[in-house]
A and B are shown apart, each in its own frame.
Chain A
Amino acid sequence: DAGVIQSPRHEVTEMGQEVTLRCKPISGHDYLFWYRQTMMRGLELLIYFNNNVPIDDSGMPEDRFSAKMPNASFSTLKIQPSEPRDSAVYFCASRPDPEYEQYFGPGTRLTVT
């Protein structure tokens, strides 16, 4: 398996624009997680899905953020409108079930100017 795939790897956008980050989990993994990493706050869980259903979105910072998982092989994290404080590295991770470890994607580095 190719591992968790994220796109784009880098995104530079202007404040106010819509940003969509994409993730393809490892095949067969029932859980998908979105994280954000900043120098100030470290790694934070934003939302996670189980069998395509959002289970906990308490980490989503505000209504400008939304996430979907239309099928088992694809998820998106959308920011609309984007702000400079959203600049961070966004990671997607997946795992087969609670007994196993999480596998992380390479991340998307987002810069909002």
Chain B
Amino acid sequence: KQEVTQIPAALSVPEGENLVLNCSFTDSAIYNLQWFRQDPGKGLTSLLLIQSSQREQTSGRLNASLDKSSGRSTLYIAASQPGDSATYLCAVYLNTNTGKLIFGQGTTLQVKP
């Protein structure tokens, strides 16, 4: 059974810091991996999708990497801002035919001004 773990569960940093959020999964036979952001009381916003043939994706100050063999993904946030404060969720796609997503519990980030 696929399990997704995110460490740390919570993180507080001063504005301007670069930071890394970690995601690990128990079964390396995944298809794609997606990072989401969730603001309190809101829905999920997709940040980055890493397809199975890719090792990383970048969008602005965000960079996500994927190492399927070791069962790990990282989300790197450069020059953090208070507006980055949210919960970040990692989710893996089990295989191409099902499209099922298994979510981690998330990392709640607070960026202090």
Contacts and interface: CB of A to CB of B under 8 A. Distances in A.
Interface of A: 31, 33, 42-45, 48, 50, 55-56, 91, 93, 95, 98-107, 109
Contact of B46 (A42, A43, A45, A101): A101
Interface string B89-113: 1010100111111111110000000
Given A42-B106, A43-B89, A48-B99, A102 B46 contact: yes
B43 interface: yes
Given A56-B100, A101-B32, A106-B42, 8 more contacts: A33-B99, A43-B91, A45-B100, A48-B99, A50-B99, A102-B99, A104-B43, A105-B43
B74 interface: no
B1 to A, nearest CB: 12
Interface of B: 31-32, 34, 36, 41-46, 49, 51, 89, 91, 93, 96-106
Nearest to A92: B43
Contacts of B43: 91, 104-107
Contacts of B31: 98
A83 to B, nearest CB: 23
Q: Which 9 pairs from chain A and chain B are nearest by CB?
A: A43-B103, A104-B44, A101-B49, A98-B96, A106-B43, A42-B105, A104-B43, A107-B43, A101-B46
Given A42-B106, A98-B93, A103 B100 contact: no
A42 B103 contact: yes
A39 to B, nearest CB: 10
B105 A56 contact: no
A33 B34 CA distance: 15
Contacts of B44: 91, 93, 104
B42 to A, nearest CB: 7
Contact of A45 (B36, B51, B101): B101
B73 to A, nearest CB: 15
B101 A99 contact: no
Contacts of A48: 98-100
Nearest to A102: B101
A13 B82 CA distance: 37
